[in-house]
Amino acid sequence: MNKDILMVIETVANEKTVSKDIIVDAIEHALAGAVKKKYRLEEKTDIEARVSIDLQTGDYTTFRRWQVVNEIEEDQENSQILVSSKIAKDNNLGVEDWYEEQIESIKFGRILAQAAKNVIVQKVRDAERSRIVDLYLPKVGELIFGIVKRVEKGNVYIDLGMPDKNTVDEAMILKENLIPREVIRPGDRLRGFLSDVQPETRGPQLYISRKAPEFLVELFKLEVPEVGQGLIEILGAVRDPGLRAKISVKSNDPKLDAIGACVGMRGSRVQSVSNELGGERIDIIMWDEDPAKFVINAMSPAEVLSIVVDEEKKSMDLAVSEEQLSQAIGRGGQNVRLASELTGWTLNVMSKEESDNKIMEENKKISSMFMEELNVDQDVADVLAKEGFSSINEIAYCSQDEFNSIEDFDDEIVQELRKRALENLEEKKSKLGKDNLISDFDELSEENVIKLNSQNINSKDDLADLSVDELLDMIELSHDVAGKIIMKARERWNKED
């Protein structure tokens, strides 16, 4: 029977391509489990046991075990001993050490062999799961190659095993992560972006995506050596999978044309990426730190005639010629939507005529407000609106240099406008009440108060309406301090409730 144990270890280790140590450990656990079961049935006692197999002879030795503890737990009298006991002291044992005594081993019969088999199967499964997770978890975010094994209910299963290795690693592309209208058949070689590794009960599941923008970026890294070397950076990518995509690029070498390098000789590089994506059209956009210039680039191939930026709403109005309006918007709004996702700005595309009319209407409203609030005539109000002023705060806290650049105003007019604007704000603040002023916050410097006032944040109620990120976009603070200020501002609401 001892030779049977050695034969089981050798056979299973070879068939399952796992370490012999794992098989030995499984058999030892099965034998120890059988010993504990025997004591439970025959002597009504729960014990701890350990079995050690001699890999040379197949003989095995069984030990009963007691763990050394400070205090014996309830119902653990048969498996624990006190650290103060004579046995522990005589054997120089500390807490959590084990004391063992050899006992009679049980025979490795048919029933025990079946129990060992079950433990071995589970151990092999655990080892296989651990191997796959350890192998592929560091590869999340990389390209994965494989052969299509089967297609079930729209989901594609890929064999990642290498021809020279005895592996059966499998990955899955869910139906929603496939490029629409893509035809995939068993036997096809397929690439994808490894997006996740889940150690599920039935076995580790590797999830691949062909729709993710990251897949597009990784393909360019593969086709464009300059990207892989860090000479060119891809700062963003958006896709309408199978139809159109936009990527923003930046060159870290002033002598290197980022767009030209990504396009390649006669378009060879971008064409290779496009072919992998089922003919997806790819616009390569030059990134710019100036948001307006970046947006103009992102709207390619449409030409933007004028642009109006609203930083508060993080939106831009773009004017294009009537002839290019449909091209700028794109089929189903595709072009402007992708440009908006790439830049992070809400983009409103309109014809030049529509843009002029919108600006004219907005300027009329702003002019009327200035006439009423500052008690100025139509001409002065029109100039303020035309120069981009949209609130009393902006006039009150506008720098002298900016005012001096307005040709229609002399120093006397500027001083009077600022005086009236400040008086207007003071009057509004007095109506807010002393307990509603943001200047009460010790965390806000005078400079930050002025910055907030210039963006129409005058009261605690105004602050309470903001999120932490919105406040940090306006002034420089730590995230914790910004959160603290907003929570203090909202205390007014809690008291009112």
pLDDT of 212 reads 93
- Cβ proximity of 36 and 47 under 8 Å: yes
pLDDT of 281 reads 93
Largest CA distance in the chain: 110
CA distance 4 to 16: 18
Nearest to 60 by CA among 30, 16, 17, 95: 30
Rg (CA), the chain: 37
**52 has which bridge partners?**
61
CA distance 366 to 360: 10
- Cβ proximity of 216 and 223 under 8 Å: no
Neighbour count for residue 201 (Cβ, 10 Å): 5
- Cβ proximity of 440 and 375 under 8 Å: no
CA distance 98 to 94: 9
- Cβ proximity of 459 and 438 under 8 Å: yes
Query: Which residue segments constitute the domains of the chain, with CATH numbers given?
Result: 2-131 (3.30.1480.10), 143-209 (2.40.50.140), 288-365 (3.30.300.20), 366-496 (1.10.150.20)
Identity of residue 484? K
Tokens of 54: 């001699």
CA distance 443 to 315: 30
Q: Give 47's Cβ-side CA count (13 Å radius).
A: 25
pLDDT of 17 reads 63
Cα dihedral 137→143→148→150 (10° resolution): 50
Directed axis angle between helix 334-343 and helix 291-298, to 10°? Answer: 150
pLDDT of 166 reads 47
Residue with tokens 């009537």: 322
Nearest to 377 by CA among 331, 415, 413: 413
Residue with tokens 């002598």: 255
CA distance 417 to 4: 101
- Cβ proximity of 458 and 417 under 8 Å: no
Measure CA of the first residue to CA of the last residue in the chain; give whole Å. Answer: 80
pLDDT of 163 reads 44
Nearest to 370 by CA among 388, 352, 353: 388
Q: Which three-class secondary structure string do you get for the chain?
A: CHHHHHHHHHHHHHHHCCCHHHHHHHHHHHHHHHHHHHHHHHCCCCCEEEEEECCCCCCEEEEEEEEEECCCCCCCCCCEEECCCHHHHHCCCCCCCEEEEEECCCCCCHHHHHHHHHHHHHHHHHHHHHHHHHHHHHHCCCEEEEEEEEEECCEEEEECCCCCCCCCCEEEECHHHCCCCCCCCCCCEEEEEEEEEEEECCEEEEEEECCCHHHHHHHHHHHCHHHHCCCEEEEEEEEECCCEEEEEEEECCCCCCHHHHHHCHHHHHHHHHHHHCCCCEEEEEECCCCHHHHHHHHCCCCCCCEEEEECCCCEEEEEECHHHHHHHHCHHHHHHHHHHHHHCCEEEEEEHHHHHHHHHHHHHHHHHHHHHHHCCCHHHHHHHHHCCCCCHHHHHCCCHHHHHCCCCCCHHHHHHHHHHHHHHHHHHHHHHCHHHEHHHCCCCCHHHHHHHHCCCCCEHHHHHCCCHHHHHHHCCCCHHHHHHHHHHHCHHHHHHC
Mean pLDDT by 10 residues, the chain (497 residues): 71 71 82 85 87 86 92 88 91 92 80 69 74 82 89 89 58 91 89 86 80 94 91 94 94 92 92 92 94 92 88 87 89 92 92 82 84 84 81 76 77 83 74 64 77 75 84 86 85 66
pLDDT of 247 reads 95
